[in-house]
Amino acid sequence: MKKLSLVIPCYNEASTLNGIVEEVLKIRSADLALELVIVDDCSTDASRAVAEELAARHPEVKLCFHEKNRGKGAALRTGFLAATGDYVGIQDADMEYDPGDYLRMIRPLEEDRADIVLGSRYLRREDRVVLKWWHSTMNRFLTWLSNVFTDLDLTDMETCYKLFRREIIQKIAPRLEEDRFGFEPEVVSEIARSMRFEGWRVGEVAISYRPRTFSEGKKIGWRDGVRALFCIFHYNAPSLPVPMQLIIYFAIGATAAVVNIAAFWFLRYIAGVGVLLSVEIAFVVAAAVNYVLCIAFLFRHKARWSSVGEIAAYVVTLVVMGALDWGVTEGLMAVSVSAVWAKAWSNVVGFFGNYLMRRFLVFGRFGVSAER
């Protein structure tokens, strides 16, 4: 007999928790045992009491509690590490998903055709509930963007229903960082990376979906969509091929260049600061913007050097590229190019130098690894 562990993150779900547990228990059979790991994320309603009553009635229910509210992602990590089943999946405490779909999702694992199976709300079924257009469009866009960065061909990255062999998710879980709904793009990033390095196989199965409204307790909002965008870049960019990293750095460099030119223009023509000092101050401001964006997206926080060593490497980069920036600007102005255009061309020249020095010196093979 195989055992399926379903992790149920719970925050203020007293009205639906009992119902979803009863629905999940219906998929028990002589061939499939269940374990329901309910993780109460410091609910302020009666969810904890409901969970304790369910545990008293059903031996399949295991309880975990957070003493402070930490978010869905944190609750899932707790549940993953507490699970003991052969397979571990996710079940929201609301009634949006049909637990019976897990019986179909588990087949590729049992037949050794996959190691991870994702349920998709967008694969074709015989019938389906019509969803909100904007909600579906945003989910499809996030899935498409995630696919661009992960090189997976998923149809529903944001799906709740994800099923893993236990040893896989318990290996992934300690590396996860997102505490809220950023869990979805982050775990898909980990799945993609593990496919490359570990050879894990991923499948998709069509599932049903009946969305609830915000008045019924739905918690995800537009801020979580913005966070998902950040997570797609943040967790995937460091392991992308160099050509794609260069494209991302172009966007980072362009942002820093705009800051550089704007600061130079303000200092030179509004504040009346001299050319050399304006160049130096504008460069330092732009360098700070560049560094923050590189850490946030392209190279993350993977430096293995001490912070002193990392800063020293970055200072060397600033000195070299600052000298180049000043030299190009002064040189072009000496041949009658306007100050702003001279500054713009110096940014073009500095783009490639900045990327190369950051990649190979500040965050190079001595300071960063492609794997965590």
What's the pLDDT tens digit per position in 137-156? 888 999 999 999 999 999 99
- Cβ distance 54 to 61 under 8 Å? yes
Residue 309 three-state SS: helix
Distance CA 117, CA 111 (A): 12
Strand partners, 105: none
The one-letter amino acid at 316: V
Which tens digits make up the pLDDT trace of 278-312?
988 998 899 889 888 887 777 765 444 566 777 78
Q: pLDDT tens string for the chain (372 positions)?
A: 899 999 999 999 999 999 999 999 999 999 999 999 999 999 999 999 999 999 999 999 999 999 999 999 999 999 999 999 999 999 998 888 999 999 999 999 999 999 999 999 888 766 666 667 777 888 899 999 999 999 999 999 999 999 999 999 999 999 999 998 899 999 999 999 888 888 899 999 999 888 755 555 555 666 777 888 889 988 888 778 777 888 888 888 889 889 999 999 999 999 989 988 998 899 889 988 988 888 777 776 544 456 677 778 878 888 898 899 899 999 999 998 998 889 888 888 888 887 888 777 777 644 334 444
User: What's the CATH class of domain 2-238?
Assistant: alpha beta
Pick from 296, 285, 291: which is nearest to 258 by CA? 285
Domains of the chain, by residue range, sit at 2-238, 240-362
Element (H, E) at 202: strand 202-206
pTM score, two decimals?
Answer: 0.75
